[in-house]
Structure 1
Amino acid sequence: MDVPTIRLSDPSTAVPSECSGDRCRRFNRQLDSSICSSASGYGSSSEYDRCRACGWWHNHAAYYGTIRLQDAVNDRGVWFIGSDKILKERPADDGLCTQGAISQALALDPAIPAPRVLHDWRDAKKQYFVLEERVPGTTLGQVWPTLIQSEKTDIAKQVAEVRQRLRALTAPSIQSAGGGACYPPFPCYVGCRADGPWHSDAELQETLRARLTEDTPCGLPDKIVDNLLARMPTCGPYVLTHGDLHLTNIMVQEGKLTGIIDWEYAAYYPVWLEYVLVSSQSNCPDDAEWKALLREELDAHGDGYPDAVRFWDDVSALKGYPYLDGLGQRLLEKLSVGE
């Protein structure tokens, strides 16, 4: 069973007498043991109730520390270390594990507001850890309903300006920050395993061709694939791309941008990919409103790629071939005659 994401409050607002284990047990009651393995729950007669997150026993909870579990989902966790550091833990096969290299790339432009990675490493079990500075402020998602329209627009403008700086950080290939494999820049293939690097647009097209002919239920005909790939916009330059400008990854304070966080999937991608991802549908109304504003600002900064959005909409429409909806059928007819 999937474990829901848990977002705990800022440590500064936590009850002073509540240790990490207590907090886990409190959420355990709400989420049916999604984090803690408490058989009887907080306040039970058993004094040997151990927290799976911090490993501490309830009867030893006299330590009132400043290390707090801030976010957890499945086997991924984020801990606040005091007031100014964050420790992230990821499973061995999760993400690209290149946040140290990303931090070094971002350091080429100190004006890009991103957390500085102090240390990243793998332990003997290949678990990946990242110790980084904590960005001041709160997430845009937390304060979005309280902001006036001019503040929302101003924050979108600031993020678009950061994107302009990121466009100046380029690589010779579509690759991870460390120069190796990255996730394929295919918005409709979210969750794919790392692949590449791709040293040219032609190499990327061949990978996409394989996906379209092998991953669809019956495989798209070659003629359809040829005509579809002819619509793919030029990918260069390959620029450092965040890849997830969700409003929970934007940090703000007093209506101003203080940082962009969670760069774990960032890599050097086609110049249009960030815009395509921002243009994708969001199930969160606040995030949908945010991304609509951000698209407007990207357009105003000359960073809009509607042709790339249309191309990936077309790719998505054909993923289920031959079981297509009306939109997919009409597109198939056009591609079959070379339109």
Structure 2
Amino acid sequence: MPARFPFTPLLKTETSKSQSDSQPGCQLLVQKPGDRGVWALGTSYILKHRPYTPGCEIEIQNADLVRRRLGERQGMPPIPKTELHWRDGDRYFTMESRIKGESLDNALPSLTQEDLTRIGQQVGQYLLGLKTITLPHTARLDGRLVNDWRLFKPLPDSSSGDYLVCTTDSELASNLALPIAHRLDKPNLDAFMAKMPSGLPFTFSHSDVHEGNIMINDGNFAGLVDWELAGFYPSWWEYVNSSPLLSEYFPVQMQNHYALEWFRVYHSIRDKTKEEGAFRLSEYLAGRAWSGA
């Protein structure tokens, strides 16, 4: 199960137990869109490869920030440490330490409801720690706009405007209005955007908390992997975009049901048919609770 608003699913490899046993030294774990892959190097390291693009080193910076700010706290799960990284022609490679355990999606068949409740509480506490890291604007650590397309979907052309780094709720609302302005008349657009939950303060978020990135060991949360999308997002984004399998067990300080309901309607207006978006909007503005998935 991906996050609530998936953009592009992972292309997971199918590796049988006999295959993994016969090739313990190097095993392809995940193939991702865009000619990217993740390999296990023995039991201690992970190797990632991808096409090189300027700024793709940001994942290392994100993990290093969390390690510096939160890694010393008692009980904090480990953050993968980059041991080596290099560019080879048009390819980029990173080798990082491997978190002990397995991904939540692989562990699910052996977990009980009690396990999921406990893991959800543990993940929520971890994300609360991230929320203590704030910035006055929405951005990646290198200053570029945050790049989770589930929040700021690529615009069709320049005539729609341009996303800008946000410093206020008004600027955040202006950004989010860009991809839906052509789908609503101005009175409805204004009425809907006026209900946008405040995104302040902008907090550091992993922004990709789904079952494939949540590591489990002995029935407990063991850490998060894949920090590529992390950055400073609206304060409600981590909860809104997190795994629906676990988020109902997050601490109350993490939960924001108003923001989740608003973004569900926003997602329908932006990404569903125009008719479905109009229906969800009319229900929302009339004060009727969301009844869909």
Bin the TM-score by the shorter chain: 0.7 to 0.9
What per-residue deviation string (whole Å, max 9, x for no partner) do you get for residues 108-162 of structure 1?
111253212234444432x332221110011111121212222221111111110
For the structure 1 residues 82 and 330, does the alpha-carbon distance in structure 2 shift closer, same or farther, using more than 3 Å as the test? closer
Over the aligned positions, Cα root-mean-square deviation in angstroms equals 3.4
| Offset, 1:97 | 4.3
- Contact 2:268 2:280 (8 Å CA) reproduced: no
Structure number with higher relative contact order (C-alpha < 8 Å, ≥ 6 residues apart): 2
For the structure 1 residues 4 and 103, does the alpha-carbon distance in structure 2 shift closer, same or farther, using more than 3 Å as the test? closer
- Contact 1:135 1:259 (8 Å CA) reproduced: yes
Name the aligned partner's letter for residue 134 of structure 1: R
Residue 13 of structure 2: aligned partner: 7
Measure, in 2, the Cα distance between the counterparts of 1:79 and 1:88. 6
Name the aligned partner's letter for residue 72 of structure 1: Q
| Offset, 1:228 | 1.2
- Whether 1:132 and 2:132 are equivalent positions in the alignment is no
Measure, in 2, the Cα distance between the counterparts of 1:238 and 1:330. 28
Of the candidates 134, 153, 175, which is equivalent to residue 207 of structure 1?
Answer: 175
Structure 2: unaligned runs, 5 residues or longer: 1-7, 157-161, 287-293
Tell which structure's C-alpha radius of gyration is larger: 1
TM-score normalised by the chain length of structure 1: 0.68
What per-residue deviation string (whole Å, max 9, x for no partner) do you get for residues 62-112 of structure 1?
xxx823322224511112223211111123459954111101211111125
TM-score normalised by the chain length of structure 2: 0.78
Residue 68 of structure 1: aligned partner: 27
Question: Once superposed, which parts of structure 1, at least 4 consecutive aligned residues long, lie more than 6 Å away?
Answer: 10-13, 191-194
| Offset, 1:233 | 0.9
Q: What SS class does the counterpart of residue 153 from structure 1 fall into? A: helix
Name the aligned partner's letter for residue 296 of structure 1: E
Residue 249 of structure 2: aligned partner: 297
Name the aligned partner's letter for residue 14 of structure 1: S
Residue 147 of structure 1: aligned partner: 111
- Whether 1:167 and 2:127 are equivalent positions in the alignment is no
Name the aligned partner's letter for residue 143 of structure 2: G
Residue 229 of structure 2: aligned partner: 265
Aligned counterparts, 1:187-202, within 5 A? 187=151, 196-202=164-170
- Contact 2:137 2:166 (8 Å CA) reproduced: yes
Measure, in 1, the Cα distance between the counterparts of 2:13 and 2:233. 30
Residue 23 of structure 1: aligned partner: none
Measure, in 1, the Cα distance between the counterparts of 2:175 and 2:223. 34
- Contact 2:100 2:222 (8 Å CA) reproduced: yes
Measure, in 2, the Cα distance between the counterparts of 1:250 and 1:334. 33
For the structure 1 residues 128 and 205, does the alpha-carbon distance in structure 2 shift closer, same or farther, using more than 3 Å as the test? farther
Measure, in 1, the Cα distance between the counterparts of 2:126 and 2:283. 41
- Contact 1:183 1:195 (8 Å CA) reproduced: no
Residue 114 of structure 1: aligned partner: 79
Name the aligned partner's letter for residue 312 of structure 1: F
Measure, in 2, the Cα distance between the counterparts of 1:305 and 1:233. 9
For the structure 1 residues 334 and 237, does the alpha-carbon distance in structure 2 shift closer, same or farther, using more than 3 Å as the test? closer
| Offset, 1:201 | 2.0
Residue 26 of structure 1: aligned partner: none
Measure, in 1, the Cα distance between the counterparts of 2:130 and 2:9. 34
Aligned counterparts, 1:13-28, within 5 A? 14-16=20-22
Measure, in 2, the Cα distance between the counterparts of 1:12 and 1:95. 39
For the structure 1 residues 186 and 202, does the alpha-carbon distance in structure 2 shift closer, same or farther, using more than 3 Å as the test? farther
Structure 1: unaligned runs, 5 residues or longer: 19-64, 279-289
Measure, in 2, the Cα distance between the counterparts of 1:170 and 1:238. 6
Q: What SS class does the counterpart of residue 270 from structure 2 fall into? A: coil
Name the aligned partner's letter for residue 124 of structure 1: G
Measure, in 2, the Cα distance between the counterparts of 1:261 and 1:154. 19
Q: What SS class does the counterpart of residue 145 from structure 2 fall into? A: coil
Measure, in 1, the Cα distance between the counterparts of 2:46 and 2:148. 29
